[in-house]
Amino acid sequence: MAHPIYLDNQAATRVDPRVLDAMLPWLTELYGNAASRSHSYGLTAAAAVNIARGQVADLIGANPDEIVFTSGATESVNLAIKGAVEAAYQRSGGGSLHVVTAATEHRAVLDSCKRLEQAGISVTILPVDKKGRVSVKGLAAALQPDTVLASIMWANNEIGTIAPVAEIAALCNEQGVLFHSDATQAVGVLPVDVNEVPVDLLSFSAHKMYGPPGAGALYVRHRTPPIQIAAQIDGGGHERGLRSGSLNVPGIVGFGKAAEICIAERAADAWRIGEMRNALVAGLREALPGITENGDLTRRVPHNASITFPGMQADRVMRAMPGLAVSSGAACSSAQPGPSHVLRAIGLAAADASATIRFSPGRFTTDEDIAAAIRIIADTIRTQSHVEQQDAHEGTRSYSHS
């Protein structure tokens, strides 16, 4: 059976063959623990981690010692939010603290904030407009004397909208509030530079940028006074005491290689992927004039198309096209019933949110894939529409005869 056409690159990307080649020796030959400094295996592994730390730092314009390796963006988010608030709580001697975030954040952010609320921390969740944009003025109005952290994602994982992160960073710096951004959907396709956008904390992951799953990073800005983060995993004091646990050397090496490739090829990749995304949307609009597109159509990542097919059930449509791998929302929320919280936050009715599918081309998508996808989607929607009409007719007839 042929593999489906893969258009779910915002959930996970294929590992680039060059990344895999870089990783393999660290799985089969150079398998030392990077914390074992008494023999060459460990020292060689530690040196490889240092090289990768530099590669990942270069991707965002950081210094290598500002990078903390984690198991992925979710862990990085948890460490940033919970760690910063816990450290602030300890400094305050148990005083009141406040955190601000937005309604369209990834579940890692929202659930971390929910956990803080359960511990007595005050949390403000900002609304967004119909394009998924958070208001900088609204954020400014929400800040309080005890606000310790604001967390606003760089680019949304469901609708692709890019946040005004430079303005948010400037506001937070001016007010003495730490600014954390989940940049998982941005670093692989946008020029993210922590020198141009002075974020304090930045989370991202390898498996969204053609690296391996199980490897992530948290950027912690060096500044005076230093940013204090309380470790959330205790153990051997790895990663300067911020994240204990034996380092995933093969994954980190792969992360570094993926970052190196991204630096060299990101601009060309983003342009080509954006062209394919545009072709997909144009083709679907021509074939299915009633569709609508969600998110900011100008300030958006190039690899996202969130499309609503009015009157359809997205889950039913996706099951009817096994030749296409797409999703109805964030992979992290796929086990949770009900419409996407992001789509509801931008004002979509429950029926329209349930009729929405996310399409995400990537580095290994071809023009032929896009052309085939348009045919598959259009044919499936037409067929499903006919089925829905038949079901409605049968239901009406059964009711009239009852």
What is the residue extent of each domain of the chain? 5-10+266-401, 17-261
Q: What is the pLDDT of residue 385?
A: 83
Active-site positions read 332
Contacting residues for 10 by C-beta, under 8 A, at least 6 apart: 157, 158, 185, 208, 303, 304, 358, 360
Span 131-149, average pLDDT: 98
**Tokens, residue 136:** 């900088």
What pLDDT does 46 receive? 95
Report the CATH fold assignment for 17-261: Aspartate Aminotransferase; domain 2 (3.40.640)
pLDDT of residue 187: 97
What Cα–Cα distance (Å) separates residue 182 from each residue in 185, 187, 385? 8, 10, 38
**pLDDT for 400:** 43
- Whole-number average pLDDT of the chain: 94
Alpha helix (H) ranges present in 192-248?
Answer: none
Cβ neighbours of residue 148 under 8 Å, at least 6 residues apart? 84, 85, 88, 97, 98, 99, 177, 178
**Tens digits of residue pLDDT in 29-76:** 999 999 998 999 999 999 999 999 999 999 999 999 999 999 999 999
Chain segment 158-195, per-residue pLDDT in tens: 999 999 999 999 999 999 999 999 999 999 999 999 99
**283-342: per-residue pLDDT in tens?**
999 999 999 999 999 999 999 999 999 999 999 999 999 999 999 865 554 455 678 999
Q: Which CATH class is domain 5-10+266-401?
A: alpha beta
Rounded Cα distance between 242 and 76, Å, is 11
Q: What percent of the chain is modeled with pLDDT above 90?
A: 89
Of 306, 290, 393, residue with least CA distance to 353: 306
- This prediction's pTM: 0.94
What pLDDT score was predicted for residue 51?
98
